[in-house]
Amino acid sequence: MNRKRWTALAIAAALFIISVLVNAVGILLSDKSETWSKNWLSLMEDSFSEEVIEDGDPLKKIVVLEVNGVIEDTGEAETFFSSSFYNHQAFLKMIKQVKEDDSVKAIVLRINSPGGGVVESAEVHNQLLKLKKETKKPIYVSMGAMAASGGYYIATAGDKLFASPETITGSIGVIMQSINYEGLAKKYGVELVTIKSGPYKDIMNPARKMTDAEQEILQRLINQSYEGFVDVIVEGRKLSEEAVRKLADGRIYNGRQAKALQLIDEFGYLDDTIAALKKEHRLSGAQVVKYVSDTPWSSLFGVISNNAKPETEASELIRLLSRPSSPRLMYLFSE
């Protein structure tokens, strides 16, 4: 067995052991000391300190909030194993921390994402709008290599959008996918037995072809989510609904095309975005920071995840274990 497989097995074993220990301690503490239990479990929660990107006045800060990877709430698995990928609950807590910190004067939303869940994208967008409304703190968006679909959805909360000429963005639309292995199952004599309470309970059953009625039900859901996507672009980018519908057919755009279509405002990288924010909002000399996790577990599992590169079997195992298995409505270009 090679080193990669040993690493994958070690991480899986660690996940199992920690799960057992947490459950066991939780049961014991719930009986003996509820207060002590809450204090112990609070160590598992995310807290954040600041890592300085550019020196400056600490009473006049710009915070860079990073969205890396698929915008998806996969529970606690990612909290344990990696701080480099997107963690939905942690990101929402970062937004809250920005809102409550009076020394933070502005935000740069750094996006490198193909999108993600409809619900999660809408939640992030909503919280960013609340942040702007309640604090009047400007949000500038810096797009990385990709800010597509749900990545673009959350970008529309920004006051000004920057991207490189080669950034992939757009992919405005909704998708829901499943696999149909009916033919394969018949070939090998496999039968999926389903007992259901209603005719549509097993909608998108991978062992049979979808009916016209089922497809119509799902198409209505997708259409409604699509309308929501169109609305946030109309409102965020100050474009007409007709113009948005013409460009929102699911295709991707590079930065040059996006600028011509008014989906972004300027060409620029992260440094350019920060410089523009300082100049246009009188933040010369501001300190630029980003949040890093203070959770005690993050260092331990960060070492594990850093040793297991994204291409390894270990990281793929973590990704598969943490992903929901049911088909979902997604603002997603690709994975």
pLDDT at res. 44? 45
Q: What is the pTM of this model?
A: 0.79
In this prediction, residues 115-140 reach a mean pLDDT of 98
At residue 178, the pLDDT reads: 87
Q: Please tell me which of 20-34, 68-82, 126-140 the model is most confident about, judged by mean pLDDT.
A: 126-140
With b for 16 or more beta-carbon neighbours within 10 A and e for fewer, the 1-23 pattern comes to eeeeeebbeebeeebeeeeeeee
206-231 per-position pLDDT tens digit: 889 999 999 999 999 999 999 999 99
Q: Which residues are catalytic?
A: 149, 201
Position 28, amino acid: L
- Contacts of residue 47, defined as CB under 8 A and 6 or more positions apart, other chains included, come to 293, 294, 295
Q: Is the pLDDT of residue 265 over 80?
A: yes
Whether residue 46 is predicted with pLDDT greater than 80 in this model: the reply is: no
Summarize the confidence of residues 57-64 as an average pLDDT: 97
Distances (CA, A) of 63 to 29, 105, 162, 287, 289: 38, 8, 16, 8, 5
Q: By the 8 A CB rule, do 231 and 240 touch? A: no
Strand, coil or helix: what is 115? strand
The pLDDT of 286-301, averaged and rounded, is: 74
Asked if the model's pLDDT at residue 321 lies above 90, the reply is: no
Query: Which pLDDT score, from 0 to 100, does residue 21 have?
Result: 60
Average pLDDT over all residues of the chain: 84
Confidence at 43, pLDDT banded by 50, 70, 90: very low
